A and B are shown apart, each in its own frame.
Chain A
Amino acid sequence: MVTLWKIFWIFAKIGAFTIGGGIPMIVAIKKELVERQWLNDEDFIDIITLAQTAPGLFAVNIAILTGHKLRGTKGSVVATIASCLPPFLIILAVAMFFTSFKDNEYVIRAFKGIRPVVVALIGVPMLDMIKATKMRWWSWAVVLSSMVLVCFLSVSPIYILICVIVMAAFISWYINRKEVCK
């Protein structure tokens, strides 16, 4: 059983290092939770999928879903507070004392090194997810078409998610009906 304190500690750590949105932190969550076998691979991919589909902030959604999986509603509350607390305190400090923070020469140089790392942090979980998911021809079609639509045609992700849900519901209903009729 994972204690609430442990959940708090893990998500506070994740919250304190979430740079460039929640996605780079998938690697951290996997390391902290899957490699300790608190979550299996399948749960983990389901959580990422649901977090991306639901409204709200990806990183916070991951905290809510994982907390719930580990310790129910209590786990969700603890994980959410933990993941919001470090950014809240840091930004508050910046707003109160260091408004010139972004012009600091050392901060600028450090971030020149951090930004390419963040891109790598997004690439690694993609590869992991591709390996852990049974990819068929249509999966690749969905991956590529959603990338092209969002990246190059600026379609909002909302429409893509709605289309996918409606189409997948219809197709699974159709397949199920055929099997029942046999």
Chain B
Amino acid sequence: MIYAELFATFFLIGMFTIGGGYAMLSLIQNEVVTVHGWISDTTFTDIVAISQMTPGPIGINSATYIGYEVLAQSGASEFMSILGSFTATFAVVLPSFIIVLMLCKVYEKWKEHYMFKGIMAGLKPATLGLIGTAALTLATPDNFIDWKSFVICIVAFLALHFKKIGPFAIIGLGAVVGLLVY
């Protein structure tokens, strides 16, 4: 039963992704390429590339794409493939939905407790560190191809920091600048 397998696999992926984003890539790769053999390594690389070019968290993107591909490749109809896509996406979100909803209740009940406050005080700088890490991992030669990239980054930073432009507009503007200068 391919739907049950898709559900179980992506449920586990959703549950064991901590620390966000690209940490989940190797986990997904191991499950769908090595363990289940649903897609090839090349298709996986394609999915990563497409995910970086489309909006949405990479976990959702790969779940949606792989859920569709697995069924389409096995000759299922369009509708059944979309159902596969939906199954995988739903499964990847479900565990964090349950856990975070429970966390909300805990937070509302205990947020004035000294120990909870202490833990939050420790986690805040750790979160900052992890966000900083995300910025550093994106500062690669793939993303910064030449001096123009640095100019775009600095101008975007200043414009955002001084609230001259909104976050959605700046992404659109980035796309326009990319089309014009490259």
Q: What are the residues of chain B within 8 A of A171 when measuring CB–CB?
A: 118, 122
- B109 close to A (CB within 8 Å): no
How many B residues have CB within 8 A of the partner chain? 100
- Whether B99 and A54, one on each chain, are in contact in the complex, defined by CB atoms closer than 8 angstroms, is yes
- B37 close to A (CB within 8 Å): no
Q: What are the residues of chain B within 8 A of A49 when measuring CB–CB?
A: 120, 123-124, 127
Query: In the assembly, what is the distance between CA of A17 and CA of B114, in Å?
Result: 38
- Nearest chain A CB to B138's CB is how many angstroms away? 5
- A25 close to B (CB within 8 Å): yes
Interface size bucket, A side? Answer: 35 or more
- A6 close to B (CB within 8 Å): no
Taking chain A's interface residues, is the majority helix, strand, or loop, or is none over half, making it mixed?
helix
Q: Which of A86, A115, A164, A172 contacts B126, CB < 8 Å?
A: A164
- Nearest chain A CB to B166's CB is how many angstroms away? 6
Interface string of B117-131 (1 = CB under 8 A from A): 111111111111111
- Whether B179 and A160, one on each chain, are in contact in the complex, defined by CB atoms closer than 8 angstroms, is no
- A1 close to B (CB within 8 Å): no
Closest A residue to B176 by beta carbon equals A113
**Residue of A50, A57, A169 with most chain B CB atoms under a 10 A cut-off:** A57
Binding site for B on A (CB under 8 A): 13, 15-28, 31, 45-46, 48-61, 64-65, 68-69, 73, 76, 80, 84, 86-88, 90-92, 94-96, 101-102, 106-107, 109-127, 129-130, 133, 135, 138-147, 150-151, 156-158, 160-161, 164-165, 167-169, 171-173, 175-176
* Top 5 A-B pairs, shortest CB-CB distance: A56-B96, A113-B178, A87-B56, A172-B118, A157-B19
